[in-house]
Amino acid sequence: MAQGVPLPRLIMFDLDGTLVDTAMEIAHSVNQTLAEAGFDSLPPELIREWIGKGTAWLFATVSQQVTGQDKERASQVYDQFYPRFLQVYHDLTGVHSRPYPGAPEALEILRAAGCQLAVVTNKDRDLSQRLLDSQGLAQAIDILVGGGDTPEGKPSPQPLQKALVDAGLSAQDALFVGDSSNDVQAARRAGVTIWAFNHGYNHGEPIAMANPDRVLDSFPELLQQLGVRPPLASPSI
């Protein structure tokens, strides 16, 4: 997709690490749950690396970490405290997060330019909706595919395929914008072009290592690459 070509009819965005910086509130949710369970806190920068594969995977990884990779004990911790983690995470969703700079404006501009917009995330659907509402992003999004909406999450292509079906479009009409190797794999399998931000998490590795079609620095750069210019402010008289 070269700069200046017609806009994709559908732009799908990943959520955590792409539209919204949620690392702080996810770390708070994990550490509050661990404190209640009598474990020491984990470093936020470690928890950040576990974002992007869904809530269950995140807490399973936390359980393994705090039990020193003792499988049996980890599965006990998971079974005992996962429901409480979901509650804490729900209550903290939207509290310590913020959209990446320029994200709300870019969504409005792309919508005004005629694109359908989707969010395709592994985060549970109700948490995703709650996050989008809390960040003032929900009204810009036409389609939400969250964790649990398809039998498999990313890196399976299923969530992207569902968004395409919901939009009534095919892979060639769409662009996916994400932040992780999970997003790159899902897009490749769905036959969708994938651009990726380097402001996200990607499991602790530079996103360029996952070979997206383009690496983006910012939302203004996304608009520029799509050949969409922000409307000029009206001159003051």
The contact set with ligand PGA (CB under 6 A) reads 14-17, 51-55, 58, 121-123
Between CA 9 and CA 116 the distance in angstroms is 6
Going 75 to 79 to 84 to 86, the CA torsion angle's sign is positive
Q: Which of 11, 13, 17, 99 binds Mg ion (CB under 5 A)?
A: 17
Angle at 95 between CA 93 and CA 101, to 5 degrees: 100
Q: Which among Mg ion, ligand PGA, none contacts residue 159 (Cβ within 5 to 8 A by kind)?
A: none
The catalytically annotated residue of 14, 21, 124, 149 is 14
Q: Max CA-CA distance within the chain? A: 71
Q: What minimum distance in Å lies between the beta carbon of 57 and ligand PGA?
A: 7
Q: Torsions phi, psi of 98, nearest 5?
A: -150, 145
Residue 121 CB, shortest distance to Mg ion, in Å, is 7
Which of the stretches 6-14, 72-80, 110-118, 218-226 binds Mg ion when contact is defined by CB under 5 A?
A: 6-14
Which partner, ligand PGA, Mg ion, none, binds residue 146 by CB below 5 to 8 Å per kind?
A: none
Distance of CA 193 to the CA centre of its chain: 17
Give the integer Cα–Cα distance in Å for 121 and 136: 17
52 touching Mg ion, by CB under 5 A? yes
Query: Using an 8 Å Cβ cutoff, are 19 and 123 in contact?
Result: no
CB of 161 to ligand PGA, least distance (A): 15
Shortest Cβ 206–ligand PGA spacing (Å): 16
Other Cβ atoms closer than 10 A to 237: 3
Contact 189, 23 (CB under 8 A): no
Is-catalytic flag, 21?
A: no
Residue with tokens 């997003």: 183
Q: In this complex, which beta carbon is closest to ligand PGA, that of residue 121 or of residue 158?
A: 121
21's contact among Mg ion, ligand PGA, none, with CB below 5 to 8 A by partner kind, is none
54 binds Mg ion (CB under 5 A): no
Let me know if 129 is exposed, middle or buried by CB neighbors in 10 A (0-12, 13-18, 19+): middle
**Minimum gap (Å) between residue 237 Cβ and ligand PGA:** 44
In the list 179, 181, 192, 203, the residue contacting Mg ion (rule: CB under 5 A) is: 179
Give the Cα separation of 127 and 142 in Å (integer): 17
**Which is closer to Mg ion, CB of 179 or CB of 223?**
179
The residue ranges that bind Mg ion (CB under 5 A) are 14, 16-17, 52, 179-180
User: What is the set of active-site residues?
Assistant: 14
